[in-house]
Structure 1
Amino acid sequence: MNLLFSLCVLCVTFRGLCEGAGVLVDDLLNAPVGGKVIFTTTLTPPVTITFLLWTFNHDNIITFNEPMNTTTPGYEGRITLFISSGSLELRNLSLNDSGDYAVTISATKAHTGSTKLRIYEPLSNVTITTSSPDLVEFNSSFRLSCSSSGSSLSFYWLNGSSEVTASDRVQLTGGGSNLTISNVTRYDQGTFRCHVVNPVSNGTSDPVHLSVSFGPENTSLNLSPTEHYYEDGSNVSLTCSAVSRPPAHFQWIGDKLSGSGPKLTLLNINMNQTGNYSCQAFNNITMRNQTSQPAFISVLKRISGASVKSTTNQAVEGNSVNLTCEAAGPVFSRQWMKDGSYLIPTDNMTLNSEGSVLSFQPLKKTHSGEYSCRIMNPINSVEADYTLVVNYGPESLQITGPREINVKHTLTLTCSADSTPSATYTWLLNTREILSNSAVFTKDVTEFSDSGSYTCTATNYVTRRTTAHVLFVTGNEM
């Protein structure tokens, strides 16, 4: 009987996925140490087999020659022959069972086949060791080494759920068991695991968390409340923040303050504390520091005691007068109003550059009115009022009454003039004073002697100005 043998080419690493050579189903079988394997033929039971021979690396394992079979020493109790199909089961596998298996079967016709068996030690104890627990961004490199018992091991690295692949900074050496990342960044940190496989088993290490220290950066200083100006006596909280791992330590910088920590509260601040404030963030792992941009705190007092004062108590038309707007505290601006409307200076009215002095050169009677000055800073505003009375006159003096009158009738003459304050009046007949302190002259019963030149003199005691008007009256006989 001719024995036919053929060599099978490797197809896949798991049983049952490709055809074996000749009468055998599989051309390659993988099995673990201590496990079992079945070499399956393509023959469909029942088959009448008259002769069968199984060999391992060309050495006989079992021979069947109807009606007897012979098992090679060392295989007793480890093999079972299925004579209905010629298949063979091999148990209690060891690494020494790896090799080439072949079968020759004689039934209605001759069948031969061959396959390969690979025995692997199952993996266990997958562990990671690391060389660099403390990592500083841009300054450090780290190496992770994966180890496992077992045979024919393949290594894969995971960061979270993503597989780690080689790049300019990432190196995989030692068959993938060593992972090295140089010049680490914060984006390299994470939870690393090593996944190990061989054809008969797989396993994953416990996770190793690597943290990369970085910063501080983006150091900033915030004020609460946020104001352009703070009132004297108020409280201000300063908070310093930075992007840093581990969290940064903070130191406050400035001549007017001291302390550490991310928050500083200034209580009952005063104007002497006006100035720039900043903080410095420090990372005690990276040994780096960064100082914030300065924040300017301006402290102001409230304005109080507003007043408007004049350079004279008696303003007279034609003279010059200054109204001065004053207050205690820091003044930022002033706003003048007259009679409830915003003041628009005219040609003979000026404001100095600070708006504190309103000048009239010269005064006009139309300048009389209610003046108010609002004094402002960002904290508050106050207002002061002043009534400006422009004294003028007397002017437009006139006498009303008859120029002719019958004797024995009543003569009434009235004198009037524009004047502030009101003028006082004196009456003369020809050159003789006949009445004072009255605007009206009355003669109940006239005589011819009442004819003549009537003069009314008006006097303003403030302006110290006097004017006169003359009326000629003639008496007629009834």
Structure 2
Amino acid sequence: MVQMLIMKFSDSFSVHIFKVASVFHLFIESGGALLARPDTITNTPVGELVQFPIQYNSTDQYDVTFRLNFPVPFKILTWKSKYPERIHIVHPLYQHRVGIDSHLVALNDVHVNDTGVYEIQIDYYGIELKNRDKSTFRMQVFEPVSQPVIGILGDCVNSPNITLSCSISKGTNYLIHWEKVSMSGVLNETYDVTVLVIDCVTEVQQQSYRCIAANPVSNATSNPVTVDLSNRANPNEGLNLQQETCT
């Protein structure tokens, strides 16, 4: 009976270790992982896997604490090198998304709200606690931008200018700029504005305009808009604005 109980406990313990190892293996092998570096900024799109290296400098046993320091400080998990199969998930926001081994902490499926300052603290101990190391990481998570759409307001028959606006449906922390391109494909000018005003009087030839939205992890370009000024002198004909197909 005792032998049977020992065998059941051993089997259960092995299964537990296998489950922990399998989850961590899934994190590591998911592909495209970004390695965060201490004291630098790691920019990542949503949904990615980010790895935080554990840099320990001792042959002693040690404890690892992974925590968020900013914007709201709290402990995420702790791990002991003496009991590598035991992972203590502290905060429910990271349940099923975080894994650890002796070399790194892996945070999977990152969200925009995961943006913040993280810390790995290592406490060394033999018979008693000796010293500790700390590594700080800053991570910024962005939603990639969608293709911009240009809005057109006005014409050169009824007003002295045309207004082009640029908007996107998805994306965080993005900037917009415009490019003015001649019909031969030469880039003439760029404008760091969201709304572009075209002066009907000073514009001397047909031009194509496109807007570009970008953040640190992505960029996208609108379909171009061609401004044809050939009919502006005729009050009976309007300005020809056409959306060209993006190739």
Report the Cα offset of residue 125 of structure 1.
3.7
Please give the secondary structure, in 1, of the residue aligned with 2:94: coil
SS in 2 for 1:150: coil
User: Once the 2 structures are TM-superposed, how far is the Cα of residue 204 of structure 1 from its aligned partner?
Assistant: 0.6
- Contact preservation (8 Å) 1:146, 1:194: yes
Maintained 8 Å contact 1:193/1:205: yes
Residue 350 of structure 1: aligned partner: none
Aligned-residue offset at 1:53? 0.5
Instruction: Look up the match of 2:88.
Output: 70
Give the Cα–Cα distance (whole angstroms) in 2 for the partners of residues 38 and 188 of structure 1: 53
Which structure has the higher relative contact order (CA within 8 Å, separation 6+)? 2
Larger Rg: 1
1:108-138, Cα deviation, whole Å (9 max, x unpaired): 8621011222121211141001113x436xx
Query: Does residue 180 in structure 1 map to residue 202 in structure 2?
Result: no
Matched with 2:98 is: 79
Partner of 1:317: none
3-state secondary structure, aligned to 2:148: strand
Query: Is structure 2 residue 146 aligned with structure 1 residue 118?
Result: no
3-state SS of paired residue (1:115): strand
After superposition, give the CA deviation of every residue in 1:376-424 in whole Å (9 maximum; x if it has no partner): xxxxxxxxxxxxxxxxxxxxxxxxxxxxxxxxxxxxxxxxxxxxxxxxx
User: Equivalent residue for 1:200?
Assistant: 217
Normalized per residue, the structure richer in strand is 1
Residue type at the aligned position of 1:143? T
Find the aligned partners of 2:205 and 2:56 in 1 and give their Cα distance: 57
Whichever residue aligns with residue 78 of structure 1, its letter is R
- Pick the aligned partner of 2:44 from 31, 41, 46: 31
Deviation at 1:181, TM superposition (A): 2.2
Are the structure 2 counterparts of residues 127 and 49 from structure 1 closer, same or farther at C-alpha, using a change threshold of 3 Å?
farther
Q: CA deviation at 1:214?
A: 5.7
Look up the match of 1:146: 166
CA contact (8 A) 2:39 2:137 kept: yes
Query: RMSD between aligned alpha carbons?
Result: 3.2
Query: 1:422-475 CA deviation, whole Å, 9 max, x = no partner?
Result: xxxxxxxxxxxxxxxxxxxxxxxxxxxxxxxxxxxxxxxxxxxxxxxxxxxxxx
Structure-2 separation of matches of 1:163 and 1:37: 40
SS at match of 1:135: coil
Assess, with a 3 A threshold, how the Cα gap between structure 1 residues 142 and 42 changes in structure 2: closer, same or farther: farther
> 1:135 aligned to 2:156?
yes
What is the aligned partner in structure 1 of residue 65 from structure 2? 53
- The verdict on how the C-alpha distance between 1:215 and 1:54 changes in structure 2, with shifts beyond 3 A counting, is closer
- Separation in structure 1 between the aligned mates of residue 209 and residue 225 of structure 2, nearest angstrom: 5
1:285 and 2:231 matched: no
Verify: 1:162 aligned to 2:184, yes or no.
no
Tell me by how many angstroms 1:82 deviates: 2.8
Pick closer, same or farther for the CA change 1:191–1:48 going to 2, 3 Å: farther
Count of residue correspondences: 188
Q: TM-score, normalised by structure 1?
A: 0.35
1:183 Cα deviation from its structure 2 partner: 4.0
Instruction: Write out per-residue CA displacement over residues 62-104 of structure 1, whole angstroms, 9 at most, x where no aligned residue.
Output: 1013324312233232112131x2x211111112211121111
Give the percent of matched residue pairs that are identical in Structure 1 and Structure 2: 27
> How far did 1:182 drift?
2.6
1:223-252: CA deviation from partner (whole Å, max 9, x where unpaired): xxxxxxxxxxxxxxxxxxxxxxxxxxxxxx
Give the SS at the match of 1:74. helix
- Secondary structure of the residue aligned to 2:93 is coil
CA deviation map 1:345-382 (0-9, x unaligned): xxxxxxxxxxxxxxxxxxxxxxxxxxxxxxxxxxxxxx
CA distance in structure 2 between the aligned counterparts of 1:47 and 1:200, rounded to whole angstroms: 39
Gaps of 5+ in 2: 1-33, 126-130, 239-247
How far residue 162 of structure 1 moved from its aligned partner, in angstroms, is 2.4
State how far apart, in whole Å, the 2-side matches of 1:150 and 1:112 are.
33
C-alpha separation in 1, matches of 2:188 and 2:52: 37
CA distance in 2, matches of 1:122, 1:69: 32
Normalising to structure 2: TM-score of the pair?
0.64
Separation of aligned partners in 1, 2:228 and 2:56? 61
Tell me the SS of whatever aligns to 2:151: strand
Partner of 1:343: none
Quote the residue 1:102 is aligned against: 119
What letter is aligned with 2:229? V
* In the alignment, structure 1 residue 40 sits paired with structure 2 residue 61: no
| Contact kept? 1:143, 1:180, Cα under 8 Å | yes
> How far apart are 1:210 and its partner, in Å?
1.0
Deviation track 1:282-315 (CA, whole Å, cap 9, x = no partner) reads 78538xxxxxxxxxxxxxxxxxxxxxxxxxxxxx
When residues 177 and 215 of structure 1 are mapped into structure 2, their CA distance, relative to the original with a 3 A threshold, is closer
Equivalent of residue 88 in structure 1, options 89, 96, 105: 105
Cα distance change of structure 1 residues 209 and 28 upon mapping to structure 2, 3 Å threshold: same
* Contact in 1 for aligned 2:39/2:135 (Cα 8 Å): no
